[in-house]
Chain A
């Protein structure tokens, strides 16, 4: 890897555009209007093109104003089509932004021989060229785009800090915000303006398509990782920045490993944020596939262990002594012939000292017997409760109790016991074990 000052500026530009996008992007995600980011980032094109033609330069203030106006218009038109034309929201959006984008393209292509604005660059950006167009700042030659992005990022950060709670309440509960005198519609258009201005700033570096990845993906990733609004905002900033850094490093290293030339940094940034999202989806502490899978497996194991205890308790109760192999077979049948599960349950119980192997059979230890008694008590109480309140045939009771017994907390058990107070036997005539 051959890192130069050019690379540094590219990364700075990428990080700034990712962070500038992450802030309004968070609100798009929270308001469930991610596609509005898509719509606005495309629709600003005619605003850009016109401003570009009028001022004949890129990165001018006129461009930002043009984009902001058109961006807000997109939101307004969409709302109109939806409200007045009774067109479905996403269809309205589709109509408005494609029409706007097409107008923008036509203007650019018409004016292409006069001005230097390339449709390809509009779509994908040209972050590699950013360090070439510099302006003096604090005695340094700073790329113009970096200055623009920095200003927009600071502006977004300022707005989010200033309207921190107003943005939150209007995204969460528009009706309440309105009744409290916080105009949710103004906050809505504020977010839309932020999206439009940010899209323009990020335009040069990542273009109008990849900017959507920067708006939505870090925020969506952050949403998987946290349940706190403030942390979600911070995380989306960090994730966006990380994707930008990883993206550029990836762009200049990964293709070379396979003997190709460098690839597009903007493209790799989007890929990197996609990878971060995928990782969050797998590893997120609460909403991740992995943690939910682990949770499910642990639950299945607990249920299997409890089933073993229940089985041994009932055998003891009936005065039956099976050989170990017989118990294993009974258990396997009870657990749907799931070998791994029953083996894991047995090992777990022996490890926890709930059962022991003596004289060629499995026996409950005293602690195991207490656990088993509690479980069987819950089972039989539930059957009694169900039989008391619902007119069900006796053969309907066991299945329900078999599922429910694992979820009856001691508090719930006490309430059920109160409800069926005095019952000694369950509906099948088996004694309900007493609490110890």
Chain B
């Protein structure tokens, strides 16, 4: 957060990706950027949006800082600003502000329905955001796809699909291969290497339904490794896996951290949190707390996250959802 605050300068208004929450606004910003005439006054349509200078920094209403004239792009691997996400009009995530620390293992913790997976999916543009913006190393996700690896939940795919482990891992390379080009030897080798890293090389040629749950999860992890990304978003990679797989996965995650990658992991097992993660993000429809595990992973915060659901938020979300559909 601190680095973000320091970098919040008026000079950043030229960055078209900061104050953009919808395509029109984005286009306007692009135009503004091209004219290199950044000025809050020139963009009255932004009056309802917070001034860019406050992003991730002071509470709303704080004064913008004096411009230094220097370029200080936000370089957090992932920066989420004021993101709200709804399913069928019912908000499931409110006002999320979060900057992922670079080179850390970050655990995303929260009860069922807290919006953990939703957060990842919204970051990846898999589901629409009601509001808010997301940047990956300072640029919008669309331009930075190649830097982001994603491990979805295992249940989301059809494991009877006629492919083997190697085919699935090679899919991680498709972004690099490009449209309409075949998967070449080189990419297959890279996929094989990724399988070796998760200890699954011997199972490369097996049809994926013949793998155990833990092995399937490792194939998914290998696929993300094959993407060769900088930021990894993993949705419950530890769910339903055996102890051997769990330790294999955590070793891979630690290797990634050593290599300077940033890894966000949706996680359920509170017991292993202090051992696995440097940082935690406690989530229950909104961010309860985030920071270094030693500081944030406290009983008090956990109680806030898990105990006493945020009843008012729940009620408000319900009202949102029902008022939209039912005649009053």
Name A residues whose Cβ lies closer than 8 Å to a Cβ of B. 30, 32, 86, 162-166, 168-169, 171-173, 175-182, 223, 226-229, 231-232
Taking a contact as CB atoms under 8 Å apart, the answer to whether A176 and B145 are in contact is no
Contacts of A173 in B (CB 8 A): 152, 156-157, 171
**CB-defined interface of B25-51 with A at 8 Å, one 1/0 digit per residue?**
000000000000000000000000000
Given contacts A166-B180, A175-B126, contact A226 B175 (CB under 8 A): no
**B121, B145, B163, B171: which contacts A181 (Cβ < 8 A)?**
B145
Can you offer 22 A-B residue contacts whose CB atoms are under 8 A? A32-B158, A163-B180, A165-B182, A166-B174, A166-B180, A168-B167, A169-B174, A172-B157, A175-B124, A175-B126, A176-B150, A176-B152, A178-B124, A179-B150, A180-B171, A180-B175, A181-B145, A223-B162, A226-B162, A227-B162, A228-B164, A229-B161
Taking a contact as CB atoms under 8 Å apart, the answer to whether A178 and B162 are in contact is no
Cα-based distance from A408 to B163 in the complex (angstroms):
29
Given contacts A179-B126, A227-B164, contact A162 B180 (CB under 8 A): yes
Closest 6 pairs between A and B when the two form their complex, measured CB to CB: A227-B207, A180-B175, A179-B150, A173-B157, A229-B162, A172-B161
Closest residue of B by beta carbon distance from A222: B162
Cα-based distance from A231 to B145 in the complex (angstroms):
31
CB distance from A195 to the nearest CB of B (A): 19
B13, CB-defined interface residue at 8 Å: no
Taking a contact as CB atoms under 8 Å apart, the answer to whether A228 and B162 are in contact is yes
Contacts of B162 in A (CB 8 A): 30, 223, 226-229, 231-232
CB distance from A185 to the nearest CB of B (A): 11
Contacts of B161 in A (CB 8 A): 30, 171-172, 229
Taking a contact as CB atoms under 8 Å apart, the answer to whether B179 and A166 are in contact is yes
For chain B residues 122-160, which have a beta carbon within 8 Å of chain A? 124-126, 145, 148, 150, 152, 156-158
**B88, B126, B182, B223: which contacts A178 (Cβ < 8 A)?**
B126
Interface contacts beyond A173-B152, A178-B124, A182-B175: sample of 8 additional A-B pairs, CB < 8 Å, sorted by A: A30-B158, A30-B161, A172-B168, A173-B157, A175-B126, A178-B126, A179-B124, A228-B162
Cα-based distance from A226 to B182 in the complex (angstroms):
21
Cα-based distance from A164 to B299 in the complex (angstroms):
52
CB distance from A372 to the nearest CB of B (A): 31
Cα-based distance from A176 to B167 in the complex (angstroms):
14
B270, CB-defined interface residue at 8 Å: no
Sort chain B's interface into a size bin: 20 to 34
Taking a contact as CB atoms under 8 Å apart, the answer to whether B156 and A175 are in contact is yes
**CB-defined interface of B110-127 with A at 8 Å, one 1/0 digit per residue?**
000000000001001110
Taking a contact as CB atoms under 8 Å apart, the answer to whether B158 and A181 are in contact is no
Taking a contact as CB atoms under 8 Å apart, the answer to whether A178 and B152 are in contact is no
Name B residues whose Cβ lies closer than 8 Å to a Cβ of A. 88, 121, 124-126, 145, 148, 150, 152, 156-158, 161-164, 167-168, 171-172, 174-175, 177, 179-180, 182-183, 207, 223, 227
Given contacts A173-B152, A179-B148, A227-B162, contact A164 B182 (CB under 8 A): yes
Given contacts A181-B145, A227-B207, contact A165 B124 (CB under 8 A): no
Closest residue of B by beta carbon distance from A181: B145
Contacts of B207 in A (CB 8 A): 227
Taking a contact as CB atoms under 8 Å apart, the answer to whether B180 and A180 are in contact is no
Contacts of B150 in A (CB 8 A): 175-176, 179
Taking a contact as CB atoms under 8 Å apart, the answer to whether B145 and A165 are in contact is no
Contacts of A181 in B (CB 8 A): 145, 175
**A172, A177, A178, A180: which contacts B163 (Cβ < 8 A)?**
A172
CB distance from A356 to the nearest CB of B (A): 39
CB distance from A344 to the nearest CB of B (A): 29
CB distance from A36 to the nearest CB of B (A): 16
Cα-based distance from A86 to B324 in the complex (angstroms):
14
Cα-based distance from A179 to B220 in the complex (angstroms):
14
Contacts of A162 in B (CB 8 A): 180
Cα-based distance from A32 to B160 in the complex (angstroms):
11
Contacts of B171 in A (CB 8 A): 165, 168-169, 172-173, 176, 180
CB distance from A288 to the nearest CB of B (A): 15
Taking a contact as CB atoms under 8 Å apart, the answer to whether A178 and B125 are in contact is yes
Contacts of A165 in B (CB 8 A): 171, 174, 177, 182-183
Cα-based distance from A171 to B167 in the complex (angstroms):
13
Cα-based distance from A32 to B124 in the complex (angstroms):
25
Given contacts A175-B152, A179-B145, contact A229 B158 (CB under 8 A): no
CB distance from B117 to the nearest CB of A (A): 11
Contacts of A228 in B (CB 8 A): 162-164
Taking a contact as CB atoms under 8 Å apart, the answer to whether B174 and A172 are in contact is no
Cα-based distance from A169 to B158 in the complex (angstroms):
11
Cα-based distance from A169 to B148 in the complex (angstroms):
17
Contacts of A179 in B (CB 8 A): 124-126, 145, 148, 150
CB distance from B143 to the nearest CB of A (A): 10
CB distance from A409 to the nearest CB of B (A): 15
Cα-based distance from A176 to B224 in the complex (angstroms):
10
Closest residue of B by beta carbon distance from A31: B158
CB distance from B266 to the nearest CB of A (A): 14
Contacts of B158 in A (CB 8 A): 30, 32, 172
Contacts of B152 in A (CB 8 A): 173, 175-176
Cα-based distance from A163 to B73 in the complex (angstroms):
37
Given contacts A165-B182, A175-B150, A176-B150, contact A182 B124 (CB under 8 A): no
Taking a contact as CB atoms under 8 Å apart, the answer to whether A229 and B167 are in contact is yes
Contacts of B174 in A (CB 8 A): 165-166, 169, 177, 180, 182
CB distance from A45 to the nearest CB of B (A): 31
Closest residue of B by beta carbon distance from A180: B175
Cα-based distance from A173 to B157 in the complex (angstroms):
6
CB distance from A393 to the nearest CB of B (A): 28
Closest residue of B by beta carbon distance from A32: B158
**B125, B163, B180: which contacts A229 (Cβ < 8 A)?**
B163
Contacts of A232 in B (CB 8 A): 162
Cα-based distance from A177 to B175 in the complex (angstroms):
9
Contacts of B157 in A (CB 8 A): 172-173
